[in-house]
Structure 1
Amino acid sequence: MKQMTFLDLCSGIGGFRLGLETAGHKCIGYCEYDKFARASYEAMYDTEGEWKAHDVTKLKPEDVPYADIWCFGFPCQDISVAGKQRGLVGKRSGIYYNIIDLLKGKEESAKPSYLLVENVKNLLSINAGFDFASVLSEMDEAGYDCRWQVLNSKNFGVPQNRERVFIIANLRSRGRREILPLTGENAAALNQLIGGMQGYRVYGTDGISATLVGNAGGVGAKTGLYFIDQSNHDPKITDTARCLTARYTAGMTNHTAMNSAVLEVHPVLTPERMEKRQNGRRMKEDGEPMFTLTSQDRHGVYVCEKVDSVKVKKCYKGRI
């Protein structure tokens, strides 16, 4: 396989770089606006002597060196269903046009042979699909033909359900090798290596991450379903229900081990921001994949007490 050079634009902490270097290609430079992402990038990769820039919107075509590939995951804040849906007219996601303008300003011989682009799946449908049509039209004007595909990380050995649209564009005058579509193996099924109560179980690295569920005691993990010994003087959470008695689930008693209530714990996204727009439901049910961890969301749990099989006597919410 021929080694190709690439530029990592809107690089973040280097996801594209990791993949392309693993495939045997060479990075010659990167551009990233966020100073913390740049610090992480430079800590993880040897960037000494490479071209680098901080703000892609300030670059001119002649500022950018030649590379066989330009890869970029342009900002998704204005495209994501979790945002305000401004689309490509938004200030952040509109950076796409800045990158395309750099391409249009270059001579044919100075343009990269390939573009590798990534964004959220909603790019295909935002503004009734007109924004994606604009993406393709702009690439066409810059001299590129495109293929695209929605890929899910869970099908490629990553224990996470994460759909993204990938676009691979080739310059018409060269670089016509077909790359998409790709297929992967569905790794959704969890492989339990060691059984037992939740908190003691061990799973293999393949499959979607185990989520918080409501059907087992959690021991040290403190997730799942718990029984509460409803004693006035010595209440405590137990792993198993108390024996049935004539006064079972009748409330608080003076006698230890006479009564039990039930606590259910459910994972919830940003419990303190009930009006926040987001992708899908706020609360996860038993057996569902966990929410994607992000740097800004506050993942938490709702803890609800059941008595006489009727919800809800008490509810609590908290962060994790």
Structure 2
Amino acid sequence: MKYFSMFSGIGGFELGISRAKPKWECVGYSEIDKYAVQIYKKHFNHTNYGDAKLINTDDLPEFDLLVGGFPCQAFSVAGKQRGFEDTRGTLFFEIARVVKQKQPRLLLLENVKGLLSHDKGNTFKRIISTLDELGYNAEWQVLNSKDFNVPQNRERVFIIGYLRGTNRSEVFPIFGSNKQAIKQVIGGSQGQRVYATNGLSVTLASGAGGQGAKTGLYAIPVLTPDRLNKRQNGRRFKENEEPSFTLTAQDRHGVYDGTRIRRLTPTECERLQGFPDNWTAGFSDTQRYKCLGNAVTVNVIQTIIDRINQDKYT
């Protein structure tokens, strides 16, 4: 199986695919963020076709599968949800342009859960209608990273497109379960002090987070056993055994267990996204946080790809 990757970031799709189907071949990728490209090149020797808007489809090799997490800021609740009014939102149509010309048998696309409800569902309807016009039947499911052995509360919608007239491999629905405690991911006494063993990390997001911070990602601990119903910004603090609040660049709320809230390290963020330690090493913490916040969770991709029956597409 040959595949092409768009908006590839630091290679989360590629790593997940290589774990599930080691013999699958990446024929190229498309990424323009200079730091993401440098990290990608540390791990993969694939051809970068650069800016998606400038791809000449005649230059692309043939491939069976297109994967991509098209930019989500235009649809995320963490942003202004401008959708297709935002130039980042229109980048979906660059995927559509490549698909129209190359007609791969399969598509695997990822975006934020907010894509489903944006503009009262009209944005998602337009995406599915576009795929239909291109000759693809589509199925989709919202998956949460916490159900795939990473203790991060990160909901994303995954769309699979099947070229009509080809065999179809049943992939969705997927039901995951998570037995991995965040203390095991982070380890050490510091992790014990900050987290409950049954707690979940906040959602990773590129950019700032926490109490007025300008950069970085923060780990928010759970309440002490007294489970006080304190409030901040009108919201109840989370209690033990509940997932922590989702952290975005604009959030100023959290939960507190009597110790200080500390910043997640880049290595911890790598683990929460399913990457090996030091995958993004060699770059500033700011760039590592940004790249990891924009990445797809590797474990989720691995599970999806593992369910694709390659024999139906070769």
TM-score, L = length of structure 1:
0.63
Structure 2 counterpart of 1:176, one-letter code: R
Structure 1 counterpart of 2:9, one-letter code: G
Give the aligned partner of residue 70 of structure 1.
66
Unaligned runs of 5+ in 1: 217-223, 226-263, 269-273, 275-280, 306-316
Q: Tell me by how many angstroms 1:302 deviates.
A: 9.1
Cα deviation per residue 1:105-124 (whole Å; 9 max; x = unaligned)?
Answer: x2xxx421100000001111
Q: Tell me by how many angstroms 1:26 deviates.
A: 2.1
Cα distance, 1:17–1:283 mapped onto 2, change above 3 Å: farther
Report SS of the residue matched to 1:53: coil
Give the aligned partner of residue 309 of structure 2.
none
Cα distance, 1:178–1:32 mapped onto 2, change above 3 Å: same
2:221–2:257 CA contact under 8 A, matched in 1: no
Structure 2 counterpart of 1:35, one-letter code: K
Give the aligned partner of residue 213 of structure 1.
222
Q: Tell me by how many angstroms 1:69 deviates.
A: 0.7
Alignment RMSD? 4.0
2:107–2:160 CA contact under 8 A, matched in 1: yes
Cα distance, 1:86–1:300 mapped onto 2, change above 3 Å: closer
Q: Tell me by how many angstroms 1:65 deviates.
A: 2.0
* Larger strand fraction of residues: 1
Q: Tell me by how many angstroms 1:289 deviates.
A: 3.1
Inter-partner Cα distance in structure 2 for 1:17 and 1:187? 25
Q: Tell me by how many angstroms 1:187 deviates.
A: 3.9
Cα deviation per residue 1:165-199 (whole Å; 9 max; x = unaligned)?
Answer: 0001111132422211111124487789x9x9995
Structure 1 counterpart of 2:172, one-letter code: L
Cα distance, 1:18–1:207 mapped onto 2, change above 3 Å: farther
Cα deviation per residue 1:132-183 (whole Å; 9 max; x = unaligned)?
Answer: 1101011011111101001111111111111110001111132422211111
Cα deviation per residue 1:39-71 (whole Å; 9 max; x = unaligned)?
Answer: 11111x231xx3312200111321322111100
2:194–2:221 CA contact under 8 A, matched in 1: no
TM-score, L = length of structure 2:
0.64
1:145–1:169 CA contact under 8 A, matched in 2: yes
Structure 1 counterpart of 2:20, one-letter code: A
Report SS of the residue matched to 1:127: helix
Cα distance, 1:140–1:35 mapped onto 2, change above 3 Å: same
Inter-partner Cα distance in structure 2 for 1:284 and 1:14? 35
> Of 80, 85, 101, which residue of structure 1 is paired with 2:81?
85
Give the aligned partner of residue 155 of structure 2.
163
| Percent sequence identity over aligned pairs | 40
1:114–1:175 CA contact under 8 A, matched in 2: no
Report SS of the residue matched to 1:122: helix
Cα deviation per residue 1:179-224 (whole Å; 9 max; x = unaligned)?
Answer: 11111124487789x9x999569977x86348423427xxxxxxx9
Give the aligned partner of residue 5 of structure 1.
2
> Of 36, 43, 46, which residue of structure 1 is paired with 2:44?
46
Inter-partner Cα distance in structure 1 for 2:256 and 2:149? 33
Runs ≥4 in structure 1, deviation > 6 angstroms?
Answer: 188-192, 201-204, 297-305
Give the aligned partner of residue 120 of structure 2.
128
Report SS of the residue matched to 1:132: helix
The worse-fitting range, judged by mean Cα deviation, of 176-185 and 129-138 is 176-185
Inter-partner Cα distance in structure 1 for 2:231 and 2:3? 40
Give the aligned partner of residue 237 of structure 1.
none
1:123–1:131 CA contact under 8 A, matched in 2: yes
